[in-house]
Amino acid sequence: MTIRHLAIIGLGLLGGSIGLAVTARGLAVTTAGWDRDPAVRQRAAERGLVGTVHETAEAAVQGADLVILCVPVGAMADAARAIAPGLAPHAIVSDVGSSKAAVAEALAEALPGATVIPAHPVAGTEQSGPDAGFATLFAGRWCIITPPDACDPAALEALSAFWTALGSRVELMDAAHHDLVLAVTSHIPHLIAYTIVGTASDLEDVTQSEVIKYSAGGFRDFTRIAASDPVMWRDVFLTNRGAVLEMLGRFTEDLTALQRAIRSGDGDTLFDLFTRTRAIRRAVIEQGQDDERPDFGRVNK
């Protein structure tokens, strides 16, 4: 099975980046798209995020071999219901949602009988909307595909080949395992960033201007993460509740252990942990998952 025509539902950061990457990489794939927001549709057409922008979801998916839902995870079921009347019988329906078990369930329920193969490109930024997308977003990044048990091998092969053609490295994973892994690598870090930035801005004996003025001391990197889209992240925590709470329990225990070490002046425990975490950072850079330049390659003005 070959993907010749792609429909993208939701033309923000992820949807726009997929459309731009298809064009930039010269794939033999035509693209169509729809977003529920007319202003986003207009901007998507101006930026050429997809070949044709349609007025309805039903029209956008006509004749598509692959439909990718690029909406917040809480909106996946609505988007799936909107495409149902226009879906070709052979079409593969996939998504880019950041949590997988809940999305798989919502899509299977909304599209009975359709070929649904959920996926999650582990690539993004804190920006959102139709101006945020860029063609190289997926280059060298992992795309985790979570096929259901009775997945059609030809459809899975076609979806894997599509993401590989966009420059991604593809990994297959069980949806529940994906949710546990991403809880620790992405969801909890976002929760910590939201917390620390919220705590700092609520402190009565530190003024707002001091928080901003001295933000270079580590806080600045948290503010970047804490600027991520509120709708997207609200939905991630609501749909990956079990795995997030499980990992949060582990995190809280480790934090308590550090608190104890600081209180009792146990420098060895602190030093050992900080040495181990430094090695993880080196591994992230060695595997090409971040910029090795100091300060994440930022140009300081």
The DSSP bridge pattern shows strands 52-53 and 5-9 to be unpaired
Q: Looking only at residues 192 through 251 of this chain, which bind ligand NAP when binding is defined by CB under 6 A?
A: 229, 232, 236
Q: Which stretch binds ligand NAP (CB under 6 A): 8-16, 143-151, 251-259, 261-269?
A: 8-16
CB 191 within 8 A of CB 238: no
Q: Which stretch binds ligand NAP (CB under 6 A): 64-72, 84-92, 165-173, 187-195?
A: 64-72
Based on the shown chain and the rule CB under 6 A, indicate whether residue 8 belongs to the binding site for ligand NAP. no
| Smallest distance, ligand NAP to C-beta of residue 97, A | 4
Query: Is residue 173 within the footprint of ligand NAP (CB under 6 A)?
Result: no
Interhelix angle 230-239/241-263, rounded to 10 degrees, is: 100
Q: How many residues bind ligand NAP (CB under 6 A)?
A: 30
The sheet with strand 119-121 has its strands ordered as: 119-121, 142-145, 169-172
Under the binding rule (CB under 6 A), the answer on residue 6 touching ligand NAP is no
Is the Cβ of residue 156 or residue 236 nearer to ligand NAP in the bound state?
A: 236
Compose the 86-125 pattern: x for residues touching ligand NAP by CB under 6 A, - for all others: ----------xxx----------------------x--xx
Q: Compute the half-sphere exposure of residue 188: CA atoms within 13 Å on the CB side of its CA.
A: 18
Footprint (CB under 6 A) of ligand NAP, residues 129-148 = 129, 132
Taking the C-alpha atoms of residue 246 and residue 223, their distance in angstroms, rounded to an integer, is: 25
For the segment 271-290, give every residue that binds ligand NAP (CB under 6 A): none
Task: Give whichever of 34 and 160 is closer to ligand NAP, judged by the CB atom.
Answer: 34
Among 12, 19, 33, 86, binds ligand NAP (CB under 6 A): 12
DSSP code, position 264: T
Q: Which residues, 6+ apart, have CB-to-CB distance to 219 below 8 Å?
A: 196, 197, 200, 211
In the list 128, 146, 239, 240, the residue contacting ligand NAP (rule: CB under 6 A) is: 128
Torsion sign, CA atoms 39, 44, 46, 50: negative
Pick the closer one to ligand NAP by CB: 188 or 261: 188
The reply on whether position 65 binds ligand NAP by CB under 6 A is no
Whole-angstrom Cα distance, residue 294 to residue 281?
A: 12
Structure tokens at 288: 């090409």
Residue 253: exposure state from Cβ atoms within 10 A (0-12, 13-18, ≥19): exposed
Tokens of 170: 């593809």
Smallest separation (angstroms) from ligand NAP to the CB of 157: 23
In degrees and rounded to multiples of 5, residue 209 shows phi and psi of -70, -35
Which parts of this chain interact with ligand NAP (CB under 6 A)?
9-15, 35-37, 40, 70-73, 75, 78-79, 96-98, 121, 124-125, 128-129, 132, 229, 232, 236
